[in-house]
Amino acid sequence: MSNNSYFRSSIYHCVERSASLTPVYFEDGLLVVDIDSGKIIDVGNFSDIESGYDVSSNLIHFKDRLIMSGFVDTHVHYPQYKVIASYGTSLLEWLNQYTFVEEQRFADEDYADHIANLFLDELIKNGTTTAMTFCASFKQSVDAFFNASQQRNLRMVAGKVMMDRNAPEMLCDSSEDSYIDSKELIEKWHNNGRLRYAVTPRFAITSSKSQLEQASKLLSEYPDEDGQKGVLLQTHLNENDEEIGWVKELFPDSDNYFGVYDDLRITGSNSVFGHCIHNTDDEYLKMAETGSKVSLCPRSNLFLGSGLFELEKLESYGIDVSLASDVGGGDSFSMFQVMNEAYKVSRMNDFNLDPVKAFYLTTLGAAKVLNMDDSIGNLEPGKEADFIVIDLNATEIISQKNKISSSIKETLFNLMTLGDDRLIDEVYIMGQRTYKK
């Protein structure tokens, strides 16, 4: 008896060879997954490869559907699940009025467990199978998130927020305690199954120089070596003019905001910086030189009125970029909606975001930002079988638009501009169905 699962459907993904991005589409495709390992064995046109397998067993045929790799959200806050779409003004006021109030509730382990489960279910419902998330400043909030992720066998990244100033006392730790707590969590969760840890200083405003030095120490203690992936780092950068001005006051010896992080050695290819919409040319250059990664959050930037990112400029410097929801500043979990807003922001900067590139920035490109493109991000053989099944007739308008599409590129554009969670018909994690609409 075959030990494979077979999925017949239209199939789309991107491959990248020598920095060249190539869309791959099979109108009638076959995806072959090894049941035991949960990894992809083969993908191609059904007529080309079906003869090599016993597809009479374990075949699922999806009609009027499109299989693609699960979405990867590279910047999101699970403690802000209930903060989403909260009325506010600027970033700093919004943090104080809503976020810091809600995050104090995560001292309660039961509450953290409850929200972690709601949050992950919402991600899955929206087709997001991997995310890099900020937890709260309490260790138990990280345990809750990783436990819930492990129960679902998800590939996830998370970390305890480090804050030792300019935040409510209940949310603050000391630089030494943040190091001790983070180290314990790294030892417990990093590279535990499909989980990885991200050292997580919230941003320069809420972390002293001493605490950022502790973050740097953690990065140096858990590097990439012996085939094991080192810890990642996540934080915020150049999101808001008021924020940038305050950082200048707090770190007068640094040339700029990115310079604060670079001076304290927390930049590099394992470091992911959220937002990056008010960068100087020197910062663009330094980001590129250090190999630092960027996570763009259009829905959050528009919701809070923070500004418009410059995707074309980031790419001109060769900086690895991804798209992200930034819930709860962002007001949707749907990566279709994130791509929709990214397209509009790009148009405001006289730049067209091609749909192939948009989907790349939420799948393989995003996996690359997290140093996970060897495991996830597309449907190449050897990758983990995290994929979504999209209903091409989920809404009447999408159905009608798809009927007159002359190419997969046009269909992708329909999905990213008109789509939301209703498009997600099924979600598979390591080849096992996890969600059905």
Q: What is the mean pLDDT of residues 73-78?
A: 98
pLDDT digits (tens, 9 = 90+) for 286-303: 999 999 999 999 999 999
What the block records as the tokens of 210 is 């001493």
- Is there a single domain that holds both residue 266 and residue 394? no
Which range marks the domain in which residue 405 is found? 4-69+377-436
- Is there a single domain that holds both residue 25 and residue 171? no
In which band, very low, low, confident or very high, does the pLDDT at 24 lie, cut at 50, 70 and 90? very high
Domain C-terminal end among 311, 344, 369 = 369
pLDDT digits (tens, 9 = 90+) for 335-360: 999 999 999 999 999 999 999 999 99
Instruction: Indicate if the pLDDT at residue 262 is higher than 90.
Output: yes
Handedness of CA 94, 98, 101, 106 (dihedral sign): negative
- Is there a single domain that holds both residue 319 and residue 363? yes
Domain C-terminal end among 347, 369, 391 = 369
Return the pLDDT at 226.
83
The domain that contains 117 carries what CATH number?
3.20.20.140
pLDDT digits (tens, 9 = 90+) for 97-151: 999 999 999 999 999 999 999 999 999 999 999 999 999 999 999 999 999 999 9
- Is there a single domain that holds both residue 354 and residue 390? no
3-state secondary structure 98-162: HHHHHHHHHHCHHHHHHHHHHHHHHHHHCCEEEEEEECCCCHHHHHHHHHHHHHCCCCEEEECEE
Cα 289 to Cα 74, 198, 225, 235, 280, distances in angstroms: 21, 22, 22, 18, 14
Q: Looking at the 3D structure of the chain, how many domains does it have?
A: 2
- Is there a single domain that holds both residue 41 and residue 81? no
Mean pLDDT, the chain, integer: 96
Cα 356 to Cα 14, 23, 191, 383, distances in angstroms: 8, 7, 31, 20
- Is there a single domain that holds both residue 167 and residue 212? yes
- Is there a single domain that holds both residue 105 and residue 44? no
- Is there a single domain that holds both residue 219 and residue 84? yes
Return the pLDDT at 203.
96
Name which of 384, 326, 333 is nearest 124 in CA terms. Answer: 333
pLDDT digits (tens, 9 = 90+) for 57-66: 899 999 999 9
Torsion of Cα atoms, 90 then 92 then 98 then 104, to 10°: 170
- Is there a single domain that holds both residue 80 and residue 149? yes
pLDDT digits (tens, 9 = 90+) for 371-410: 999 999 999 999 999 999 999 999 999 999 999 999 999 9
Instruction: Indicate if the pLDDT at residue 265 is higher than 90.
Output: yes
- Is there a single domain that holds both residue 251 and residue 117? yes
Global pTM exceeds 0.85: yes
The domain that contains 383 carries what CATH number?
2.30.40.10
% of the chain beyond a pLDDT of 70:
100
- Is there a single domain that holds both residue 51 and residue 90? no
- Is there a single domain that holds both residue 144 and residue 252? yes
* Separation CA 393–CA 398 (nearest Å): 6
Instruction: Indicate if the pLDDT at residue 1 is higher than 60.
Output: no
In this structure, the number of other CB atoms found within 10 A of the CB of residue 122 comes to 17
